[in-house]
């Protein structure tokens, strides 16, 4: 019997994010290129005799009740399979919160994976993905991971060849952005064609293993809304490009900005500037990482 499981829940960035239209039901139809990065939350699951789901986390401001996405994920499978035992979940967050990196969705994905394994429910990855979309549009992708094209509301996923490796500098300014605000203020049908990113060129760059083509075509239609509200995002992008990034973009609805570097020394130097140098006032959380490809580490377990 499995009593404990340690899991890693990885964050993502968007190499491309386009919104095609708003559907009748209020959801937006998107076309996004997703890429997992090497920043992860740690989740420890423990099986307990006492029924119920108990959550502990290192961030005091996160809910530890049914509003936490890890609770929703555990509860979904435990109810469906009438599991009478309990589970405790220890969640250590490192992925910036409310940042456009799908941290909560990834935590939920890891818990679905973990509960399935711990209680031997026998669900396939596809069956877990079908359940994940009920928790959030990005959850199926967070189960799949790697490089992928995401369409529909995010639930139609096409795995892509792993994007060519590079250094990824991630900087989150000390501001909060509401995903709902950004989508409500985006009027995709009023955008000029040049404001939509060229997703096909990014796809081509990935298929040709050409990181420069990928970096040159990075694009996120949501920048039109978020940067207008928070010019610091543009400031960080410009700095990253000034330090030699081949491309720089806001991830998701923001405010996290990432830069792709092909020169490790330039990436390291930029990282130091944002972390403790002249640009440290611009970003609250800074990471230097890589793309994470599932071929190297296929499992969510340590
Ligand atoms: P996305 O990239 O999917 O838009 P995000 O980075 O904007 O995600 P998250 O960090 O996933 O946002 O979630 C932020 C909101 O969700 C916060 O209001 C937070 O209180 C709530 N939340 C619930 N569960 C979690 C969790 N496990 N981790 C982070 N936030 C959570």
The string of DSSP codes covering 12-39 is EEEEEEEEEEE-TTS-EEEEEEEEEEEE
For 29-49, the pLDDT digits (tens) are: 999 999 999 999 999 999 999
Does residue 249 contact residue 240 with C-beta atoms inside 8 Å? no
- For residue 6, pLDDT over 60 is answered with yes
Active site residues: 12, 138
Closest to 260 in 3D by CA, of 272, 249, 274? 249
pLDDT number for residue 161 = 95
Residue 290 and residue 167: Cα distance in Å, rounded?
5
| Mean pLDDT over each residue of the chain, to the nearest integer | 95
Contact 141, 12 (CB under 8 A): yes
* Average of per-residue pLDDT across 163-173: 97
Q: Which of the listed residues 13, 28, 60, 98 should we mutate to test ligand 1's pocket, taking the one with most ligand atoms within 8 A of CB?
A: 98
pLDDT reported for residue 299? 66
Q: Which residues line ligand 1 (CB under 6 A)?
A: 62-63, 67-70, 97-105, 107, 138, 179, 252-253
Among 73, 193, 218, 224, smallest CA distance to 143 is for: 73
Ligand 1 atom at minimal distance to the Cα of residue 68 = 24
Q: Are 299 and 3 in contact (CB under 8 A)?
A: no
115-150: pLDDT as tens digits: 999 999 999 999 999 999 999 999 999 999 999 999
Residue 130 Cα to ligand 1 middle (Å): 20
Q: Whose CA is nearest to atom 25 of ligand 1?
A: 104
Per-residue model confidence (pLDDT) at position 298 = 57
Pocket perturbation via mutation, ligand 1, pick of 104, 114, 132, 177 by most ligand atoms within 8 A of CB: 104
Q: How far is the CA of 204 from the centre of ligand 1 (A)?
A: 31
Give the tens place of pLDDT for each residue, 231-270.
Answer: 999 999 999 999 999 999 999 999 999 999 999 999 999 9
Q: How far is CA 82 from CA 19, 53, 64, 72, 77, in A?
A: 39, 13, 22, 15, 8
Task: Quote the CA–CA distance of 81 and 168 in Å, as a whole number.
Answer: 40
């Amino acid at each position: 019997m499995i009593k404990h499981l340690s899991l890693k829940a990885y964050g993502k960035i968007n190499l491309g994010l386009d919104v095609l239209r708003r559907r009748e039901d209020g959801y937006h139809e998107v076309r996004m290129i997703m890429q997992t990065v090497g920043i992860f939350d740690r989740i420890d699951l423990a099986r307990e005799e006492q029924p119920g789901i108990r959550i502990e986390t290192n961030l005091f401001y996160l809910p530890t009740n049914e509003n936490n996405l890890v609770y929703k994920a555990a509860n979904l499978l435990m109810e469906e399979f009438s599991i009478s035992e309990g589970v405790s979940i220890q969640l250590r967050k490192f992925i910036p919160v409310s940042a456009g990196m799908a941290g909560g969705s990834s935590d939920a994905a890891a818990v679905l994976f973990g509960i399935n394994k711990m209680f031997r429910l026998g669900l396939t990855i596809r069956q877990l993905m079908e359940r994940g979309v009920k928790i959030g549009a990005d959850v199926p992708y967070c189960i799949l991971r790697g490089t992928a094209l995401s369409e529909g509301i995010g639930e139609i996923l096409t795995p892509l060849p792993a994007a060519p490796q590079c250094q990824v500098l991630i900087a989150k300014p000390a501001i909060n952005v509401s995903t709902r605000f950004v989508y409500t203020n985006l009027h995709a049908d009023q955008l000029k064609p040049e404001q939509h990113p060229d997703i096909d060129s990014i796809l081509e760059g990935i298929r040709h293993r050409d990181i420069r083509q990928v970096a040159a075509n990075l694009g996120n239609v949501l920048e039109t809304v978020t940067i207008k509200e928070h010019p610091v995002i543009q400031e960080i992008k410009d700095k990253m490009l000034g330090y030699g990034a081949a491309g720089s973009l806001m991830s998701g609805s923001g405010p996290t900005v990432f830069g792709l570097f092909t020169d490790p020394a330039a990436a390291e130097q930029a990282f130091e500037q944002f972390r403790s140098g002249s640009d440290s006032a611009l970003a609250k959380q800074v990471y230097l990482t890589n793309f994470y490809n599932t071929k190297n580490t296929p499992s969510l377990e340590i």
